[in-house]
Amino acid sequence: MKSFIFIFSLFITFPLLAGPNEEFLSLAQSIQDSPIEELPVQNNGRLKPFHSLARESILFINGRYQFEHKASAIQTYLALIIYPKSDQVEIINVRNKNIRAQLGSLPGNKKNHFSIKQLDKWGLMGRAAPLLDKEQRNKRSLEPEEKDLLELYNQYQLTKFIISGNHFLAALDFASLQGSQNHGQSPPKTLSLAKEYLRALASQSPNTQELAKQLIESSFNSPMPPLFEKQKKKIKIEVYYNKLRPFFIAALFLLFIGLSFFFKQAHPFYNTLLGKITLSIPLLILFLGFVARVYITGFAPVTNMYGTMIWVSFGVSLFSLILLYLYKSYYAVGSLWIGAGLTLILTENLPLILSPNMDPIVAVLRSNLWLTIHVLTIVISYAAFTITMILSNVALVRSLVRSDFSHSIYKEFSKLIYRMTQLGVFLLSVGIILGGVWADYSWGRFWGWDPKETWALIADIGYLAILHARYIGWLKPFGILLASPLAYLLVIMAWYGVNFILASGLHSYGFSSGGATMVGIFVATQLFLLLLAGANYWKKVKASSH
Amino acid sequence: MKKVLKRIQASSLFQYCSSVKLAVPLMLVIGAVVSLGTFIESRYNADYAKLLVYNTVWFQTLLALLWLNIFCAALSRYPWKKHHTGFVITHLGLLTLLGGALLTKVYGIDGSLYVREGETSRTVFLPEKVIEVSNDYFFTKIKAPSTAKPLSEDHLSWVNKKLSPYIKIKKFYPFTEGGQGPSFSTEGDILSFNIKSPFFDQKVTLHSKELPERQMGPALFRWVTKTSPQQTTSQTKKQPHSLKSDMLIFQSPSGKVVEKVPLKKLPITIHGVKIELKKKYSHAVVVKNQITNENDQINPAIELRLTKEGKTYREILYSKFPGFSILKDSPLPFKLLYQAAGPNSPSPTQASETPLPKGPVVEFHTFPKKEVLFYKNGQLLKKQTFSLNQKIQMPWMNMILTPLYLGPMKDLKQQIRPISPTPKTDQLPPGAILVQAENQSFWLQEGQVKEITLQNGDPLQIYFGPNTIQLPFSVSLIKFYKKDYPGTQTAMSFESDVRINRTPQIIKISMNEPYKRDGYTLYQSSYDLGPPIVSIFSVNKDPGRPIKYLGSIILAIGIIIYIFMKSRFYKKWSSK
């Protein structure tokens, strides 16, 4: 699919073949990236490998980790510095459709990337200036399109900063972090080595590798703040982690094993020891991925949407194994593993919305005990609810496509859902209470109707209502199949909506934007499916009563 | 006893109160109502959501109904059987938890203590508002209405009944605009106006004695009163007149010169901010928002580029106008000043005495005629008479000027209008009350105190604003520390060194390490780097805490038992 899009875009950009984009690309591809990837740099309050800095920067500018799927982040980053016509390279990803249209991208045209020059010509600076002013006055008053324009402005500024080479040098300038007394000094050795390295790259001199080695050594040995000293030994692991993509590999395993559950012939295999080991592989990889993130960052990996998505996928896979053990329902668990695998793949492929970066957390979260137990408990409860949602939807779709779908099967599914709902309600209630205790401990109040805590409570109440309604017989098995996905919309609101749509309250450290269309489509599809399945069921009941 | 219970259980009201058929709709209604609260908070702010939903009587009633429902449900199954274990424990836990919450609500204290660095305080500001009337003989304090609706005298009789016989509240507005900040003295006149452009909307107030002119961005607003404004400009420190080379001066917020760097030494990096000299002008003038070198007067200026974290900032410094800065949110903790070299360089003290700056100037004349004059590059562009609330098109940048008030400062308090809260702002506008005391009446805006003299000669003080309490101990802030992640402005931690009751022992209060004393707990909650530096503590006294914790534990154990007793393991085990 990707190669198809690529060929398609080649076709469209054909007239520009010999332009700066192509020249830039071939220059970038000629750069060797492996010798420099472990260069320790400082950025956003953290010591990280240059590999991560380049990935984060190129992702922000270009929307992807590679330039035109062909040059790596490091290659692109360094080529931006040494290519003399970098301001003509169409590298800045304009994410807003209206802005793209104003920039002259026709609706049918897939052109999403523009150059510094094109943005200059459009007058980006002049358009952004009043918005910067407005942002400083009151950040909350910005309209979505204004936010997008400001983001574009920041992409543009970062691109220019990288092109100037100063972004690279600033990341290596540890001396300036040591306090103001150092300014005005002659530049330290690392900086002059860095300049030499860039010059060598530009002149394609043969000693770039040697210079890269020296630069890494010099940077590694430069005096740093104590926080960074501790992070030095993590640089190598982070590069491995970046390259390995453990969560993506785990997703492939989940999908493959999940699919195999649909073949009866495979079931006996999973009762053997080897089968059980196979089942534990994806969980093990996910777990190791977590360990790597915890090791690199020093805190539990659930401080942003990306972390929670992964944790939920882990929870779904884990709880499914319990269901498999207790109820031997291979088909249900198969759907759940496929669901978890797809969630992971989606998460890994939306780095702009679900940022995987490991930058430091705000002061209030710096309590590992509470962060770990409160957030992990809440988010793992979302995993239990996700299972109820997936199972309900599988059952509802089957009720639509299979005419022989009977009450006994509704009952079987609704039983699984009922038990999972109980587990979820338990975990969520405990998580909410733990949150209250943490808030009491660090803010001095147990409960303050903050949107994040309120929505967690609303979701909890939603599922409690289902449990109580089932108790008095208001909800029969099919009713539970309909109600669970509906209650899951509350979980989506608590999980995604508060941070991305409401964006208010004390949990502001998790706020972000984007993905609204995708979530909107999910919600609409879900509601449509519920209506369809409900109508279909009602028709059948009416027909059978005649 | 059992008989009574049986009879109660049999009554239809009790059966209704204890039924799950009440519980489910109640849960859904509470869920819907609080979700509405979160949307209000998102559109406005947390205070408005509390005022409209969470703190209202009807919402508290809903919660009370829920409590009653759970209580009756637990009671209805009495005498409890073995299979009720999970159910009973869970619901008792919930009742305890909600009971603890009620205790907190009624008897708890949750306020803020603001202490400036080097100062001492014991006053805690609470979220609820009060009206206080006092003199040497008596003191009354009553809760101000908590509503988002304006109230007239008819709806305020419950307040007036409890208040002093000398005064009456005639009107209550929950949110108002107008009035004035307490920063000006009542001597003198006020001219206030609004300037509005597509990008901003701001009210500006000039004071005839204390603030006759004001620089707003590139434009200077000046009020020419009968007395010349020049006489009142404040004097700043004298700087030496002749300098050998151009200097860039770093000044701390308190005005102390931290560092002087010759311009020749640029670029430098300080605090992770790279400072480069972009251009130097000896005859600077601003034309079409661009700085150029065409002035016929000597007006040295430099253009700097500051770079931090990939963000660049542009700064222009005029040696003659040391107060001018185009940096709104400086990446540096210092103020930058430019001192030009040479004997010609005038001292910065002359800044406000130059007759007409080259930039845009708006000049108001109120005597003998009310006129507004617009200058640019020293030339008069437009001149017109003005009256209050008249919209005047300014000759640049599509701006509209609306004069709002002109008159003595002491009458300004009457200019109070009710408004609705503005969306997407973090604070609610201040409320106000109209007070009638014998034959005089006046407005009190939130946070204001007024002292009047009664006809019998007694003084009387009236206060409207946040309720305060005095801590049984004093807190002195010795030093506040904010530690950032290296190379950023993101706080890694912040903490305060305080002394209690002025004893020599220094106590540290930080984000996750509160301080407890006399039943109060002090939390480091926020800060203002000022100047002056202020550390903000949240002060908390919570008699419901142990009960809430107990309830939480009971609840959690209850759910575990409940789930376990439904499992097949339990069924297998109990059937053995």
Residue pLDDT, tens place only, B444-472: 888 888 888 888 888 888 889 899 899 99
Quick check: A16 pLDDT over 60?
A: no
Q: Does A449 touch chain B (CB under 8 A)?
A: yes
A residues 63-122 lying closer than 8 A (beta carbon) to B: none
Give me the pLDDT at residue B349, please. 36
Q: Does B63 touch chain A (CB under 8 A)?
A: no
What are all long-range contacts of B553-556, with beta carbons under 8 Å and residues at least 24 apart?
B553/B93, B554/B89, B554/B92, B554/B93, B554/B96, B555/A429, B555/A433, B555/B90, B555/B93, B555/B94, B555/B96, B555/B97, B556/A426, B556/A429, B556/A430, B556/A433, B556/B93
- Please tell me whether residues B389 and B374 are part of one structural domain: yes
Cα-based distances in Å from B507 to B78, B477, B479? 53, 10, 11
- Please tell me whether residues B88 and B66 are part of one structural domain: yes
**In chain A, % of residues over pLDDT 90:** 39
Give me the pLDDT at residue B242, please. 43
Q: Is residue B155 part of a domain?
A: yes
β-bridge mates for residue B541, sequence order: B109
Q: Which of A45, A158, A177 shows the shortest C-beta gap to B490?
A: A45
Average of per-residue pLDDT across A429-456: 89
Give me the pLDDT at residue B440, please. 79
Q: Is residue B184 part of a domain?
A: no
- Please give the single-letter amino acid code of residue B189: D
Query: pLDDT tens, B356-398?
Result: 667 788 888 887 788 888 888 778 888 888 888 888 888 876 7
Q: Among the three residues B311, B346, B381, which one is the final residue of a domain in this structure?
A: B346
Q: Which of A170, A419, A469 shows the shortest C-beta gap to B24?
A: A469
* Pairwise pLDDT comparison (A467 vs A544), residue with the higher score: A467
Give me the pLDDT at residue B241, please. 41
Query: pLDDT tens, B79-121?
Result: 888 888 989 999 999 999 999 999 998 898 889 999 988 889 9
Give me the pLDDT at residue B232, please. 36
Q: Is residue B352 part of a domain?
A: no
Min Cα separation A437/chain B (Å): 8
- Please tell me whether residues B467 and B515 are part of one structural domain: yes
- Please tell me whether residues B567 and B534 are part of one structural domain: no
Quick check: B530 pLDDT over 90?
A: no
Quick check: A11 pLDDT over 50?
A: no
Q: Do A225 and B329 touch (CB under 8 A)?
A: no
Q: Is residue B456 part of a domain?
A: yes
- Please tell me whether residues B528 and B501 are part of one structural domain: yes
Confidence band (pLDDT; 50, 70, 90) for A158? very high
Give me the pLDDT at residue B12, please. 87
* Pairwise pLDDT comparison (A5 vs B330), residue with the higher score: B330
B residues 495-514 lying closer than 8 A (beta carbon) to A: 511-512, 514
Q: Is residue B241 part of a domain?
A: no
Is residue A341 within 8 Å of residue A251, measured between CB atoms? yes
Cα nearest neighbour of A433 on chain B? B552
- Cβ-Cβ contacts under 8 Å, B102 against chain A: none
- Please tell me whether residues B532 and B551 are part of one structural domain: no
Query: pLDDT tens, A181-213?
Result: 444 455 678 888 888 898 888 888 888 888 888
Burial category of B177 from C-beta neighbours within 10 Å (exposed 0-12, middle 13-18, buried 19 and up): middle
**Cα(A435)–Cα(A437) distance, integer angstroms:** 5
Give me the pLDDT at residue B288, please. 47
Residue B78: DSSP 8-state: P
Give me the pLDDT at residue B291, please. 62
Query: pLDDT tens, B208-253?
Result: 777 787 777 677 888 887 544 443 333 333 333 445 577 787 777 6
Confidence band (pLDDT; 50, 70, 90) for A461? very high
Number of domains in chain B: 4
- Please tell me whether residues B165 and B195 are part of one structural domain: no
- Please tell me whether residues B438 and B524 are part of one structural domain: yes
Annotate A167-225 with three-state secondary structure.
HHHHHHCCHHHHCHHHCCCCCCHHHHHHHHHHHHHHCCCCCHHHHHHHHHHHHHHCCCC
Quick check: B299 pLDDT over 80?
A: no
Give me the pLDDT at residue B237, please. 35
Structure tokens at A200: 């060598």
* Mean pLDDT, rounded, of chain A: 86
Q: Do A449 and B37 touch (CB under 8 A)?
A: yes
Give me the pLDDT at residue A509, please. 52
Nearest to A396 by CA among A489, A259, A534, A261: A534
**Cα(B176)–Cα(B168) distance, integer angstroms:** 20
Is residue B423 within 8 Å of residue B43, measured between CB atoms? yes
Structure tokens at A403: 């005419």
- Please tell me whether residues B9 and B83 are part of one structural domain: yes
Q: Is residue B239 part of a domain?
A: no
Domain span at residue B30 reads 2-108+545-575
- Within B409-533, strands assigned E span 416-418, 432-437, 440-445, 448-453, 459-484, 491-500, 507-510, 515-517, 520-528
- Please tell me whether residues B16 and B98 are part of one structural domain: yes
Q: Confirm whether pTM is higher than 0.80.
A: no
Min Cα separation B386/chain A (Å): 29
Give me the pLDDT at residue B547, please. 95
At B267 the three-state DSSP class reads: coil
First to last CA, chain A: 51
Dihedral, CA of residue A286, residue A288, residue A291 and residue A297, to nearest 10: -80
- Please tell me whether residues B143 and B25 are part of one structural domain: no
Q: Is residue B491 part of a domain?
A: yes
Q: Among the three residues B322, B346, B370, which one is the final residue of a domain in this structure?
A: B346
Q: Do A45 and B38 touch (CB under 8 A)?
A: no
Confidence band (pLDDT; 50, 70, 90) for B531? low
* Mean pLDDT, rounded, of chain B: 80
**In chain B, % of residues over pLDDT 70:** 82
Give me the pLDDT at residue A181, please. 47
**Cα(B104)–Cα(B541) distance, integer angstroms:** 8
Average of per-residue pLDDT across B58-73: 94
Q: Are strands B219-224 and B361-365 parallel, antiparallel or unpaired?
A: parallel
Average of per-residue pLDDT across A431-437: 92
Q: Is residue B390 part of a domain?
A: yes
Give me the pLDDT at residue A43, please. 85
First to last CA, chain B: 37
Min Cα separation A467/chain B (Å): 9
Query: pLDDT tens, A312-356?
Result: 999 999 999 988 888 888 888 999 999 999 999 999 988 888 888
Average of per-residue pLDDT across B194-219: 75
Q: Among the three residues B303, B320, B346, which one is the final residue of a domain in this structure?
A: B346
Average of per-residue pLDDT across A230-259: 92
- Please tell me whether residues B421 and B535 are part of one structural domain: yes
Average of per-residue pLDDT across B517-540: 86
